[in-house]
Amino acid sequence: TQELILRKIYPVPSRFRRLAKFLRLYQVSGLEKLVQALHLPALFSKKFATLSRMAPRIEAKFSDQLLPEVIPARGEIRYRVALLTGCVQDVAFATVNRDTAHVLAYDGCEVWIPRPQVCCGSLHGHIGDQETAARLAQQTLDIFSQRPVDAIIVNAAGCGSFMKHYARLFENTGLSQARRQQFLDFSARVKDIHEFLLEIGFRKPEHAVHATVTYHDACHLAHGQKITRAPREILQSIPGLQLVPLAESDWCCGSAGIYNITHTDTSLELLDRKMGHIRATGAQIVASANPGCNIQLAFGVKRHRLNFEVVHPVSLLRRAYGNL
C-alpha cells in the first residue's frame, strides 16, 4: 500500500486528489465513525488501527478552489513571489495556503500560484527513492520557472528543507552544469514563509488574538533549515497572544516524514512525550509549521483526550491582520 501511494499516486496530482476526495467522503459521510466504533481496522492489525485514526482531515475545498492563480499585492508591489501549495498541504491544509497567500499580499507581494503543481519529491527523498524525487524536482523546477519571481514561498517545513537542497539529488549524475546551476539558483530563492516575512519586514498586526500559545519546532524547520527565531517573532508580534515556552520544543514529535508510518510504535513514544510537555504549558493553541507535525499533534490531541488547537503560525498572523 505504501509503495502504491508513494510511487503511483503521490507523483500524479489528479490521482492524489481523487484519493483525497474519497477520503473526505469517507470522513464526512459517517462511515469513518461507524468503522471506528466497530473497531474494524483492528481486524487487520494494531498498527493499521492506529494509522486509520491518524489520517488527516481533508478540507472541503483545495487550494485552487480557494485561491486565484494570481493575487495582487495590497498597494505598491514590493515583491513578486510564487507559492508552493504542496500535496498533503493542498488537500488537508488548503486554508493554510489561503492564509499564506493573503498575508503575503497584505505585506506587498504579488502572489503567483502556479497551476498545476506536483509533489516536490520530499517524501520520496525521505524513503530513499532518489529516482522519483529527482523526476519530481525536475518538474517542480520547470513549473516554477515559467515566471520570474523574487522568491518561492513554502509553508511546509519538510518541503522547504528538501527544495533548498535539490542539487544534491544530482551529484555524480550526468546532469549538465547549466541545468545544475538552474537548480542552485532555484534553491537560493526558496524561502520559508516565516523567514521571508522577517526578511521583508512584515506589517505588525493590530487585531488582538487573545490566546495562550506554545510553539513546536518542526525538525525540518529548526534542524533542516536552522529557522527557530522567525516563527516566534511573528507570534510575539500579535497583540493579546501570550507565547509560553515548550520544554524540548525542538525534539521530534514522531512524524518525521513518514516515520510514523514505517516505525509507528517508536513514533508514538515520541508523540506521548511531546504531548506531556504540551499539556504542562496550559496552552490553548499549539503552533507548528509542518503538515506532518500538525497531523501527528492533532492525533495526539485525540489519543490523550486533550483540548487545544493545532494551528500554523501564519494562520494566527492572518487572524491578527483582521479581514483581508
Question: How many residues appear in the chain?
Answer: 324
pLDDT at 86: 94
Integer Cα distance of 135 and 157 in angstroms: 21
DSSP single-letter state for residue 57: P
pLDDT at 3: 64
Closest CA to 241 of 269, 274, 275, 283: 283
Dihedral-angle region of residue 71 (phi above 0 means left; psi in -120 to 50 means alpha; beta otherwise): beta
Please give the average per-residue pLDDT across 276-290, as a whole number. 97
Please give the torsion angle defined by the CA atoms of residues 34, 35, 38 and 44, in that order, rounded to the nearest 10 degrees: 180
pLDDT at 294: 96
pLDDT at 10: 74
Place of cell 485514526: 53
Closest CA to 165 of 194, 196, 197, 130: 130
Integer Cα distance of 294 and 311 in angstroms: 8
Strands, E assignment, 159-272:
190-192, 211-215, 241-244
pLDDT (tens digit, 9 = 90+) per residue, 222-261?
999 999 999 999 999 999 999 999 999 999 999 987 778 8
pLDDT (tens digit, 9 = 90+) per residue, 191-226?
999 999 999 999 999 999 999 999 999 999 999 999
Integer Cα distance of 215 and 311 in angstroms: 10
Please give the average per-residue pLDDT across 126-136, as a whole number. 90
* List of residues 6+ apart from 22 with CB closer than 8 A: none
Integer Cα distance of 194 and 237 in angstroms: 12
Please give the average per-residue pLDDT across 48-59, as a whole number. 92
Please give the average per-residue pLDDT across 79-106, as a whole number. 97
Asked whether the beta carbons of 215 and 228 are under 8 A apart, the reply is: no
pLDDT-derived band of residue 127, with 50, 70 and 90 as boundaries?
Answer: confident
DSSP single-letter state for residue 212: E
Integer Cα distance of 240 and 250 in angstroms: 25
pTM of the predicted model, to two decimals? Answer: 0.94
pLDDT (tens digit, 9 = 90+) per residue, 303-312?
999 999 999 9
pLDDT at 112: 98
Q: Which domains does the chain have, with CATH numbers?
A: 2-54 (no CATH), 63-199 (1.20.1050), 204-321 (3.40.50.11810)
Burial code (b: 16+ CB inside 10 Å, e: under 16) for 169-191 equals bbeeeebeeeeeebbeebbebbb
pLDDT (tens digit, 9 = 90+) per residue, 2-13?
666 777 777 778
Q: Where are the alpha helices (DSSP H) in 70-121?
A: 88-92, 94-106
The mean of the pLDDT values for the chain is: 94
Please give the average per-residue pLDDT across 92-115, as a whole number. 98
* E strand or H helix at 219: helix 219-222
Integer Cα distance of 47 and 150 in angstroms: 45
pLDDT at 2: 63
